[in-house]
Structure 1
Amino acid sequence: MKIYPVEAGNFKLDGGAMFGVVPKTIWNKTNPADENNLIDIAARCMLIEDGNRLILIDTGMGNKQSEKFFGYYSLWGPHSLDGSLAKYGFHRDDITDVFMTHLHFDHCGGSVNWNKDKTGYEVAFKNAKFWTNDNHWEWATKPNAREKASFLSENILPMQESGQLNFIKRPEGDYSHSKELGFGIFYVDGHTEKMMIPHVQYQDKTIVFCADLIPTAGHLPLPYVMGYDTRPLLTLPEKEKFLKAAAENNYYLWLEHDAHNQIITVENTEKGVRLKEIFRCEDILS
């Protein structure tokens, strides 16, 4: 098995929204804001090469939205999904599986493109199976008013229309091992319904793709919950359970949204679970 970081494009989000009730004087120390109160955000996807399978976890924001739409998110930096794939000698047509932690636009927008004449949409990975779970699909395709702006139909429905959509069978509890994809999945409901957190066994390490459960290294303290979470009081025990396991088992936490810290480990302290070490992807994957 080989694992590659796929940088799908950097953007910015409001720091207050990213940290909920935490005052700016506190979160600004770890995630400094610009003059517009925006903080740096990454879309660091994961590519797993395992035998004849090439599995992409999340796809970033994509490039099909309007200039006005992208203007809200202050895109920056040179990264792109296609450029990152090409860096490792891959093309999007090589991808066999696209696993989406959840269907918010900044995690699945790159799964769908305009067609050639921009009269409609087509899946961006023509040879891939697209993976979600039935509970989250139902939640995303019949969105509540709070999340409606994050679940964009043009990002979601073409996957079903293509016939390439697949549902992962969920367990009764909150953790299972996916026979279809070969890694473990922790299910959480605080951010959105049945978001999936992959646990990948790589050599002698467990690398966990944190999605929006731990978006940046600055979000480790339990009360540091995003304003975007639909059930923040549920996020708290989910984070607590996850971080306890991460500290006890020395998980390597892959931070999808942290533009400056790629992979971290954590440890138990008197203040709770806190940052232990910071790594570059190449340090862990080489």
Structure 2
Amino acid sequence: MTVYPVETGNFKLDGGAMFGVVPKSIWNRTNPADNNNMIDLAARCLLIEDGDRLILVDNGLGNKQSEKFFSYYYRWGNHSLDASLEALGFHRDDISDVFLTHLHFDHCGGSIQWNKDRTGYEPAFKNARFWSNKDHWEWATHPNAREKASFLKENLLPMEESGQLHFVNRKEGVFQESSELGFGILFADGHTEKQMLPHVTYKGKTLVFVADLIPTVGHIPLPYVMGYDTRPLLTLKEKANFLNTVAENNYLLFFEHDAHNQLCTLKKTEKGVRLNQLFSFYEVFNSQ
């Protein structure tokens, strides 16, 4: 197995929304805001090469939305999915599986693209299976008013219409193993219904893709919960269990949304679980 980070592009969101009830005077220390109160975010994905399978975990915002749509998210930087794949020696047609942690547009927008004459949509990964789970798919395709703007029909329905959509089987337990994909999955319900966090064992270390359970390093303290979460009190419980497990087992967190930090470890302190060390991906894995 070989694992790679894949940068698909950077964007910005309102810092207050990203930190919920935490005051700006506190979160601004770790995630400084610009003059519009927006903070830097990444759409960083994970690519897993395992035998004849090439699995992409999430795929960013994509590029099919309107200029007006993207103007709300202040995209910045030069990263793109295709350029990042090319730098690794791959093409999107090489992807065998696309694993979607959840179906908010910043995680799955790259799944679908315009067709050649821009009369409709088609899968952007023509040879891939798209993996979600039944409960989350139902939640996303019949959205509540709070999340409706994040679940875009053009990102979802073409997956199903193409016949490329598949569902993982959910079992109870923390870090269950997925027989379909060959890595572990933790289900979390605080941010949205049945978000899936994958974890892989790579070069003797456990790497956990934390998606929107812990968007950035600044979100590690327990009460630092996004205003976007549908069940913030449940997120608190899920985070407490997760952070303790990570600290006790010295897992590595892989950040999808932290624009400036890729990996970290955690430690237990008198004030709870806190950041231990920060690393770049290749700082850890190229040294082994």
SS of 1:234's partner is helix
8 Å CA contact 2:203–2:285 kept in 1: the answer is no
8 Å CA contact 1:112–1:123 kept in 2: the answer is yes
Q: Counterpart of 2:179 in structure 1: which amino acid?
A: K
Q: Deviations over 1:19-73 (max 9, x none)?
A: 0000000000000000000000000100001111100000000000000000000
Q: For 2:260 and 2:253, locate their aligned partners in 1 and report how far apart those are by CA, in whole Å.
A: 14
Q: Would you identify which runs of 4 or more consecutive aligned residues in structure 1 move more than 3 Å?
A: 172-175
Is 1:52 paired with 2:44? no
1:136 matched residue in structure 2: 136
8 Å CA contact 2:9–2:78 kept in 1: the answer is yes
1:92 matched residue in structure 2: 92
Is 1:115 paired with 2:115? yes
Q: Counterpart of 2:189 in structure 1: which amino acid?
A: D
Cα deviation for residue 283 of structure 1 reads 1.2
Q: Deviations over 1:153-203 (max 9, x none)?
A: 000110000000000000134542001111100000000000001011102
SS of 1:10's partner is strand
Quote the sequence identity (%): 72
8 Å CA contact 1:197–1:209 kept in 2: the answer is yes
SS of 2:55's partner is strand
1:197 matched residue in structure 2: 197
SS of 1:110's partner is helix
CA RMSD of aligned residues (A): 0.7
Aligned residues: 286
8 Å CA contact 1:4–1:285 kept in 2: the answer is no
Q: Normalized against structure 1, the TM-score is what?
A: 0.99
1:263 matched residue in structure 2: 263
SS of 2:9's partner is coil
2:179 matched residue in structure 1: 179
Q: For 2:201 and 2:266, locate their aligned partners in 1 and report how far apart those are by CA, in whole Å.
A: 18
Q: Counterpart of 2:160 in structure 1: which amino acid?
A: Q
Output aligned runs, 1:142-221, within 5 Å: 142-221=142-221
Query: Unaligned stretches of 5+ in structure 2?
Result: none
Q: Normalized against structure 2, the TM-score is what?
A: 0.98
SS of 1:169's partner is coil
